[in-house]
Amino acid sequence: MHSLIGAFTQRQRPGSFQLVASYGEVRPPGPDAVSARQGPRFIATDPLHTFDKLLLTREIEERLLDCIAFVEVAPLVFDTWGLRAIEPHPSVAVNFRGPPGTGKTMAAHAAASRLGKKILLSRLSELESKYHGDGPKNIVALFDSAKEQDAIVFIDEAESLLSRRFAQPEQAAESAINSMRTELLMALDAFDGLAIFASNLPHSYDTAMESRLLNIEFTLPDLPTRRRIWEAHLVPGLPVDPELSIDRLASIDGVSGRDIKLSVITAAIGAARRKTVVTEALLVSALERQRRPPSAEQGEAGPPLDPQTAEAVKSRLRGSAKNDPAPPDGPAPSDIS
């Protein structure tokens, strides 16, 4: 499955690296800098996705570019213009909220790529449980490691970390998460850079956290964006039926980018098995399977299609059944991103 991601080329904007590098150099080590490492070292990686592969509505893209611009112009504003006197640690913390498969992880990688930085990815479950009992230390170590490796921080599954504090924690777990939140607030205040959180469950925010966070809502793609996502995923090397209409595929509403990706992979596997080409019927059928309620074998899946879309999908299937009578076999591939 990595081949799909591997096919995404890395392209960085010329000059962006120097800008960010000089930002790192000019900052004098302050007395309040995160000091001696208190936990494990987290390893940053090169970003896997670039901005040109991320397809978003104009509004979401603009919000994302604003966050990136903050880090890009920080050397000018805080060092050359001297605003560091009033804000010693200019950082931006963003929360990507939205349904599964809408490009949140991809966007974090693309942001790192655009800034010429590495990405340090962790998830709350890892911070909490991998080094059990050391949650707050892990938070310190994460930000410490990001600073050392000139990386942006990306914390996935962040709901409970950003949620309202337990006023009177009753259990050890509640008290542990409170301590992690306190540590996170301090780490954010001492961090010079971009910290991204991702959450896809609704939650009520901790007020101290909310005052520091910018929220970007990732929605399911609209029609023009779905069209671009279909086009991007039906890669040039894929043997496709000349009758296939991207406009018809894009007209199927209520699907995420991941649904599209998985239907393309499923249909391609089905086509390869039958030594045929990828047809619209294979794609639509795979998309429908992808959207079925979860079963024991398939694990997580999106909600079922609404009745109108389901009917449109069925009639399309009936229409193209003569081209490809057999739906793809086997379970949908699980997603790896």
Ligand X SMILES: Nc1ncnc2c1ncn2[C@@H]1O[C@H](COP(=O)(O)OP(=O)(O)OP(=O)(O)O)[C@@H](O)[C@H]1O
> Using CB under 6 A, which residues numbered 240 to 269 contact ligand X?
257-258, 261
The encoded tokens of residue 163 equal 């949620």
Q: Which of residues 238-257 bind Mg ion (CB under 5 A)?
A: none
When asked if residue 284 is in the footprint of ligand X (CB under 6 A), the reply is no
Window of 14-22, 62-70, 102-110, 166-174 that interacts with Mg ion by CB under 5 A: 102-110
Q: Which of 50, 91, 95, 105 binds ligand X (CB under 6 A)?
A: 105
Residues 5-64 interacting with Mg ion (rule: CB under 5 A): none
Does residue 54 touch ligand X according to CB under 6 A?
Answer: yes
Task: Give the residue with the Cβ less far from ligand X, 57 or 276.
Answer: 57
- Only one of the segments 70-78, 99-107, 138-146, 311-319 lies at the binding site for ligand X (rule: CB under 6 A); that segment is 99-107
Report the nearest approach of Mg ion to the CB of residue 67 (Å). 17
Residue 199 binds Mg ion (CB under 5 A)? no
Residue ranges in the chain assigned as alpha helix (H): 2-6, 16-26, 58-74, 104-115, 124-129, 135-148, 159-162, 172-189, 207-210, 223-233, 246-250, 257-273, 280-290, 307-320
Contact between 105 and Mg ion per CB under 5 A: yes
Cα(2)–Cα(205) distance, rounded to whole angstroms?
35
Q: Is 145 in the site for Mg ion (CB under 5 A)?
A: no
In the numeric block, the tokens 């086509």 are attached to 271
Contacts of 123 (CB under 8 A, 6+ apart): 155, 156, 157
64 Cβ neighbours under 8 A, 6+ residues apart:
56, 107, 110, 111, 216
Instruction: Examine residue 135 and tell whether it contacts ligand X (CB under 6 A).
Output: no
Angle at 8 between CA 290 and CA 150, to 5 degrees: 110
CB contact at 8 A, 71 and 171: no
Name residues contacting ligand X, limited to 147-206 (CB under 6 A). 200
Nearer to ligand X, 143 or 197 (CB): 197
Beta bridge mates, 154? 121, 196
Rounded CA Rg of the chain: 22
Selection from Mg ion, ligand X, none that 257 binds (CB < 5 to 8 A by kind) is: ligand X
Give CA–CA dist 181/261, Å, rounded. 35
- Min dist CB 45 to ligand X, Å, is 15
Partner that binds at residue 101, options Mg ion, ligand X, none, CB closer than 5 to 8 Å by kind = ligand X
Q: Is 285 in the site for Mg ion (CB under 5 A)?
A: no
- The residue ranges that bind Mg ion (CB under 5 A) are 104-105
- The residue ranges that bind ligand X (CB under 6 A) are 54-56, 100-106, 200, 218, 229, 257-258, 261, 337
